[in-house]
Structure 1
Amino acid sequence: MSSTAAHRGAYRRVLAIGLPLVVSMGATTLMLFTDRMFLGNYSLDAIAAAMPAGIASFAILSFFIGTAGYTGVFIAQYTGAGRPQRVGAALWQGVWFCLLAGVFSAAASLLAGPLFALAGHPHDVRVLEEPYFRILMLGGVFAILDAAFSGFFTGRGLTRVVMAVNLTGAILNIPLDYALIYGAFGFPELGIRGAALATVAGGAVSAALFTALIFTQKNERLFRVRSAWALDRDLFTRLMKYGLPGGVQFFLDIFAITFFVFLVGRIGKEELAATNIVFSINTLTFLPMVGFSVAASTLVGQALGAGDPDAAHRDTMATLRLTLGYMTAVALLFVVFPEVFLVLFRPRDLDAAGYAAITATGVWLMRFVAVYSIFDAVGMILFGALKGAGDSRYLMLSMGGAAILVMILPTYVAVETFGAGVYAAWAFLTAYVVALAGLMWLRYRGGKWRRMRVIEGAG
């Protein structure tokens, strides 16, 4: 095969696997975006509370989600190696982990009071943060199960199924979100509690759909999804060996952002609201990019399972070029038309003049997003490639080191010791994203990932 034909084939594979994931993540983006928009319109305190509480809950869940997500890496490599009979066993090890993780998630809901008391946010915000966090943690098992269940399809390259499930969840979640926040269609007005309940309900629907689609007679015949339910000590141990560092890495990344948001909340309510709004807008760029990152992970996993690291590299580079093109276009929109996005979040209890200060801050923050989004594209795609190879320990150490040294400590010192404002905090956030992109590039270029495998050799 010629070099040109090989590259065309790489683009076709990336688009076939990646576009449904982008649409899928777009559905999740739309859910989160409308959730924040509804809350922003509902009240200033609601939008100020939603991001810290939401990201705090996700920070805890991220450890479990990151670990469960490695189920898809195992399934991708078993698929590439031509060993479908091991797919069901790999899935079940992930499911057993998810159920145990759900118990810890529910127990973590008890942290709501002390956690937000420690944050030091204004009282009006704190009384909304606590119930939002509590409800999300009680229903966290559905988000964790989603990470393992979706891996059954993404690991085999069947991303349209994941797209269909997530689109169904979005279609159900958005009107339910509106109804429970505002008290429409016969539902009670629950405000921020309603937003949390709608999120949990959407996750439960997705988990139910995945269960119905996975555990069929056909899949039992092909992959042993029913009969391979027992705990496989060797396979479970290997899932934990690679998955736990992945979970720690994901947690550290989200913890860094959580810590950042909490620090901004100590600067002031308007700064916190502007940051929360811009982060909500940023999901428009970030989650679709996650779709391409998962595609890179799947393609690399399958190629390495088949013993073809050159194909893995071609697919990774094709994914990176496509993602950079998308992110560049979005970054230009954020620079040229920031007010178009910001106006969507104006609270109904705040007039245009009162919202003007938040808008002015938001315009500058969106310029930070435009800058770091390009670097984020590089970091996310190479991260996906390294994850697909099973390089979870490096991902954990590099992300943890960058989070502590480049963002958490400098931001804390700047805000708490020198009284720095929101722009200084965002400068350190941007530096963190740039540092991660550099670390991912150096590791990928080193080539060690080419020799990595998470699955056992064929017996």
Structure 2
Amino acid sequence: MSASWGDELRATFALAWPLVIAQLAQNALTATDVIMLGWLGPTHLAAGTLATTFLMPFLVCGVGIVGAVAPLVAQARGARDIKAVRRVVRQGMWAAILLAVLFTPILLQIRPIYAALGQDPTITLMAEEYIQVGVWMLFPALTIIALRSLLSAFDATRIILLVTVGGVLFNAFANYGLIFGHFGMPRLELRGAALATVLANIVMFGLMLAYVLRQRRFKRFYVLMRLWKPDWPRFREIFRIGTPIGLTVLAEVGLFTAAALLMGLLGTDEVAAHAIALQCASMAFMVPLGLGIAATVRVGMAYGRGDAEGIRKAGWTAFALGTSFMAVSCALFLTLGPSIVALFLDPRVPENAHALALAGTFLVVAGVFQLVDGAQVVAAHALRGLSDTKIPMVFAILGYWAIGLPTAWLFGFVIGWRGVGIWLGLAAGLAAVAVVLVARFAMRERLGLLRPR
């Protein structure tokens, strides 16, 4: 018998709130690097930004692929198949290692790739210094996703929160020491920032693994038992489900990267205003993202035990929570936009006036697309709980790149609405994806998505 609506609401909220805060803390990890590199000066900040911009698509793609462990473990839990849990997590760790091995040599070619793209040679050389060290974060960072998926699927999200916050604090300490040479550490500047990030991810991986191996609830899975033993069907299943997830996330990240490049054609103030509005929207986005991860687990568990009513309640409960929060953030952006953007640029400086005005306008559009952004991310994650990832990937790529980007170009440059037009294009792409994915979840039975796999 499936849970009541009230029970489902409580279960989803209890599962989601540590994930939401952990996602916000994960954002703080990157923010710490940006702030401290900024203390070295604009050249170092530009080099660090160039390096992380190159690294990020590989990282988010890998996170999406290994993230397939979450629905598979949730389904195994729902079906009470303990042996499958161990095998899925073990193969997820191998998938993480394989992806890191494949991505590393590509990332180490940052200098010739950026040279071919016409980037500044001096800054590119500095960015290469960061990548040569920072690329090794992929191994612990991607393996963490397999362990985090196991913990999420068994409602142990508070330990994820504690480990992530601990990683943020460690990263801040190591950054300050290794970038500037404090606490008896060597002054490594860009390499120091990269090394701090690598070490922070190693610490987080070690803490998570120790918890899984020592905590009585998870010891029974013996996740490292016969770690070398292949399980090719489950290994392929992770890539079958995870590759579309990785490409979907990559398509969305690519859309916002393209929007930033379009802003660069308009001027410095537009880029600064875009960065401010995007930072505000990204922070708000962490809430429905955390709810979406919870939806994957709750829907996956119901799917594993063959509970169609449980699937319905889990999906729509997360959807209601996500859109309700985004409605609140929409109202805040619409009513307090000028006050919010003033937190980023000093309004008393006359040179900031134009950028602040633009940021306030962009934030109004961001407020409107908060609703569709929340809807699309929760719907996508609910469908992942059903192992439905290929068709949503196609819809996402078409929505972002066949609707969102052309609309941004049309409104921004052809019609002449400039930055506002670009943001309207982003909203159009997200809205198209949201409508299709929500409709797909609503029609899940008619489309045959509930058939046992």
TM-score (norm: length of structure 2): 0.87
**Residues 274 and 450 of structure 1: CA distance in aligned 2, closer, same or farther (over 3 Å):** same
Please tell me whether residue 238 in structure 1 is matched to residue 268 in structure 2: no
* Deviation of 1:236 (Å): 1.2
* Deviation of 1:416 (Å): 7.8
Match of 2:432 among 432, 435, 450: 435
Secondary structure at 1:447's aligned position in 2?
Answer: coil
Partner of 1:24: 22
* Deviation of 1:181 (Å): 5.3
What are the ranges of 5 or more consecutive residues in structure 2 without an aligned counterpart?
A: none
**Residues 183 and 281 of structure 1: CA distance in aligned 2, closer, same or farther (over 3 Å):** farther
Please tell me whether residue 107 in structure 1 is matched to residue 105 in structure 2: yes
- Compare 174-183 and 79-88 and name the one that shifted more: 174-183
Partner of 2:279: 280
Q: In 1, distance between residues paired with 2:115 and 2:367?
A: 33
Quick check: 1:181–1:194 contact (8 Å CA) kept in 2? yes
- Greater RCO, 1 or 2 (C-alpha within 8 Å, sep 6+): 1
- Compare 225-234 and 123-132 and name the one that shifted more: 123-132
- Compare 293-302 and 193-202 and name the one that shifted more: 193-202
Q: In 2, distance between residues paired with 1:440 and 1:313?
A: 15
Q: 1:147-166 counterparts in 2 under 5 A?
A: 147-166=145-164
* Deviation of 1:20 (Å): 1.5
**Residues 302 and 201 of structure 1: CA distance in aligned 2, closer, same or farther (over 3 Å):** same
TM-score (norm: length of structure 1): 0.86
Match of 1:358 among 344, 355, 358: 355
Q: 1:389-400 counterparts in 2 under 5 A?
A: 389-400=386-397
Q: 1:260-271 counterparts in 2 under 5 A?
A: 260-271=259-270
* Deviation of 1:433 (Å): 1.3
**Residues 188 and 353 of structure 1: CA distance in aligned 2, closer, same or farther (over 3 Å):** farther
Partner of 1:385: 382
**Residues 454 and 70 of structure 1: CA distance in aligned 2, closer, same or farther (over 3 Å):** farther
Deviations along 1:283-307, whole A, 9 cap, x unmatched? 3112232111100000000011011
Q: In 2, distance between residues paired with 1:181 and 1:241?
A: 41
Secondary structure at 2:220's aligned position in 1?
Answer: helix
- Compare 431-440 and 45-54 and name the one that shifted more: 45-54
* Deviation of 1:43 (Å): 4.9
* Deviation of 1:50 (Å): 5.7
The RMSD of aligned alpha carbons is 3.3
Q: 1:241-390 counterparts in 2 under 5 A?
A: 241-346=240-345, 352-390=349-387
Partner of 1:60: 58
Quick check: 1:33–1:281 contact (8 Å CA) kept in 2? no
* Deviation of 1:314 (Å): 0.9
What are the ranges of 5 or more consecutive residues in structure 1 without an aligned counterpart?
A: none
Partner of 2:92: 94
Quick check: 2:302–2:311 contact (8 Å CA) kept in 1? yes
Partner of 1:76: 74
Match of 1:425 among 422, 425, 435: 422
* Deviation of 1:149 (Å): 1.4
Aligned residues: 452
Quick check: 1:44–1:273 contact (8 Å CA) kept in 2? no
Q: In 2, distance between residues paired with 1:122 and 1:341?
A: 34
Q: In 1, distance between residues paired with 2:351 and 2:191?
A: 26
**Residues 449 and 388 of structure 1: CA distance in aligned 2, closer, same or farther (over 3 Å):** farther
**Residues 149 and 454 of structure 1: CA distance in aligned 2, closer, same or farther (over 3 Å):** farther
* Deviation of 1:76 (Å): 0.4
* Deviation of 1:319 (Å): 1.5
